[in-house]
Amino acid sequence: MLERLKIILSPSEDLIQKELKHPISKQTIELAFYLPLVDEAKVHQFVTVPFSKNEYPISSLFQSNSNFYIVEDPASWVDLILRGQALIEHQNVIYAFDAMHYKYNDAPVTQVESTIRGPQHSISEDPIIALNLIRNAYMSPELTIDQRQVGTISQTSLYILYDQRKSNQDTLKLVMNKIEAIHLDLINSTGELERLLSSKKYQLFPTLLMTERVDRISRALSLGKIVLVLKGSQYALILPVTFFDFIHAVEDHYESFWMTRLLIVFRYIALFITVSLPGLYIAVLSYNPEIFRLQLAFSLVASRSVVPYPSFIEVFIMLIMIEMLLESSIRIPRFIGPASTTVGGLILGSAIQQAGLVSSVMIIVTSLMAISNFVLPVYSMTLAVRFLKYPIIFIAIFFGLSGVCVGLYFYIVYLCNMRSFGEYYFRIRGKFTPQEGDIGQAGAR
């Protein structure tokens, strides 16, 4: 049976295949099960221990216990073993033992990526629970799990998951080489791993996706991507990714079609607003106030007339305050939390405008920019985009509206030039017929 199983199932670290030989009675059984999916104690209690004790003949044990049943059809082995059954062969009869253990109760609740009506559990810091959840979500025999150790002192186990048939061999080789090349002492979190695996240190956009959701992981596996699960960290890494994966939330597959498409459009609008709005404010106010209508220009003048210094200083003051507010709300102790809302809302909002330090339009611009920053569903992209507006502000101060356009064009050039493990990062997917082939030498997706 074991040779047959080796052919059908892809080689995986968590597939336990044992051949037990009893030295006295000279009986052998072959045992095969997926370690994360079964309750190992149960298997020990019902199979391994009675076999080694050898008080009763093992076949009578199998025939008397209703948990064991005979499997006639070899075609159903894959299904059974993926559903957490342990397959036991004894004297050319295959038995299946139900040892399935769903670990949904042990799965923690999602903290960063929540949905309204989707699954609420995330993978856990215990890799066995994580692999249990993933295997339950992606029941395919092609799912391969490899294991490596990273970090010379911490020796953290890293599990590499991929679908053997769908994933790209070149990417896989690239990832393995990169993992071998890690020479740090301690690897404690997925963020460190992400930094080490990205090809360039100073890049602006993330090329790996960190996620805690099981449904995103299973969808990524079905698309042929590679997932890395680190022991001790609640987040998994998905690679290779494109820019559009960061704009897409998991809810887009659960909710109604039209509204989700509209929300994707809003996310792009929010991305544009958060990157360019402060720069546009400076450019329009100080270089080209004739763009807008007469009434708007006058209300801008009226609100700016109380402020004593030029517009970009105003922008910098408000941006620094917003960044400090956002950073401090991560670290504020729970009991002082409400105070920070008061500080942010009242003081930064109304009082600073009434004192004449900042104009009222600037408050609107800043809050719009801060809110649209968090419309993006993935946190690493939110963080990356938060940085992008500062160069645009610089270039708007010196060059005005044309500078903003040129800066945005530079970002598009930079994005199109990025590759994420060989995959094109920012490419609009068009009609692709396999017999024609794709452009360039890499990237067959």
Partner 1 sequence: MRKKLLLSTIFLNIICVLLLSGCGFKDIDKRYFVVGTGIDYSGDEEKPFRITIKLAVPSVSIDPGSSKTQIESINSATIAEGVRMLKAQVDKEIDFGHCNVFLIGEEMANRNIQDVVYWMSRRRDIQNIAALGVGTPSAEDVISKQPTVERVPGYSLNLFFSNDATESSFTYVELLTDLFRRVNEKGLDPILPVVEIQNDTSYVVNRIALLNKEKIILILTPEETQLFNQISGHLGVTNVYGSFPSPPYVIALNSVKTKYSITNEDQPTVNMKIKQTVTFEEEPVNERSEEQHKVLLDLQQAYSEKSQQLLVKIQEAGVDPIGFGLRYRADYDLADFDENWPDIYKRIKFEINTKMSTRGSGLLR
Partner 2 sequence: MNRYFFYNYFIVCFTNLMLLIPYFLTADRYGGAVMSIVLSPIFGYIFLYMFTSSLSKFPGKALPEIFSLFYPKWIVNIVMVYKAVLIGIAGALVISTYAVIITSFLNPNANQYVMLMLLLIVCAYAATRSTVSIAFILEISLLLSLPVIAFVMYKTINNPLMNWDAIHVIANHVDHMPTLLSFACASFVFTGYLNMGLFNRILPPNFKFKYIWSYPIIAFIVLVITFFVPIGIHGTETVSQYIFLWSATADSTRMMYGFIERMLFVFLIVLINISLTFTMVGWHMVIEYIRTIIPNNVVNPDEKKAPLRSYIIAGCIIIITFVTMLKVTDDLMLKFTAYFLIFRLFSETLTTTWIFILSRKKVRKYEKEAAS
Binding site for partner 2 (CB under 8 A): 287-288, 290-293, 399-403, 405-406, 409-410, 412-413, 416-417, 419, 424, 426-428, 430, 435-443
For residues 138 and 243, which CB has a smaller minimum distance to partner 2 in the complex? 243
Write the binding mask 289 to 308 for partner 1: x where contact by CB under 8 A, - elsewhere: xx---xx-xxxxxxxxxxx-
**Rounded CA gap, 312 and 412, in Å?**
25
100 binds, among partner 2, partner 1, none (CB under 5 to 8 A by kind): none
Residue linked to tokens 């517009």: 311
Considering CB distances under 5 to 8 angstroms, the limit depending on partner class, which of partner 1, partner 2, none binds residue 73? none
- 23: partner contacted, choices partner 2, partner 1, none (Cβ within 5-8 A by kind): none
Minimum distance between the CB of residue 288 and partner 1, rounded to whole angstroms?
A: 8
Smallest separation (angstroms) from partner 2 to the CB of 441: 6
**Residue 412's binding partner, choosing from partner 1, partner 2, none, with beta-carbon cut-off 5 to 8 A by kind?**
partner 2
Q: Is residue 354 within the footprint of partner 1 (CB under 8 A)?
A: no
**Shortest distance in whole angstroms from residue 391 CB to partner 1:** 10
297 binds, among partner 1, partner 2, none (CB under 5 to 8 A by kind): partner 1
Which residues are within 8 A (CB) of 430 and not within 5 positions of it... i.e. 6 or more apart? none
Q: What is the DSSP string of 156-206?
A: EEEEEEEETTTS-HHHHHHHHHHHHT---S---SHHHHHHHHSS-TT-SS-
Omega of the bond leading into 240 within 30 degrees of 0 (cis): yes
Of residues 371-410, which lie at the interface with partner 1 (CB under 8 A)? 394, 397-400
**267 sits near partner 1 (criterion: CB under 8 A):** no
Conformational region of residue 375, where left means phi above 0, alpha means psi within -120 to 50, and beta covers everything else = alpha
- Strand-pair partners of 17: 32
26: Cβ contacts below 8 Å, ≥ 6 apart? none
Considering CB distances under 5 to 8 angstroms, the limit depending on partner class, which of partner 1, partner 2, none binds residue 301? partner 1
Question: Are 99 and 38 within 8 A, CB to CB?
Answer: yes
Distance CA 300, CA 431 (A): 47
274 burial via Cβ count (<10 Å: 0-12, 13-18, 19+): buried
Q: Which residues pair with 209 in a beta bridge?
A: 238
User: If DSSP codes are grouped into helix, strand and coil, which group holds residue 52?
Assistant: helix
Q: Which does 428 bind (CB under 5 to 8 A by kind): partner 2, partner 1, none?
A: partner 2
Tokens of 199: 């090809």
Quote the least distance from Cβ 293 to partner 1, whole Å: 8
Shortest Å distance, C-beta 417 to partner 2? 4
Closest contact distance (angstroms) between CB of 401 and partner 2 is 6
Residues near partner 1, by CB under 8 A = 285-290, 294-295, 297-307, 310-311, 394, 397-400
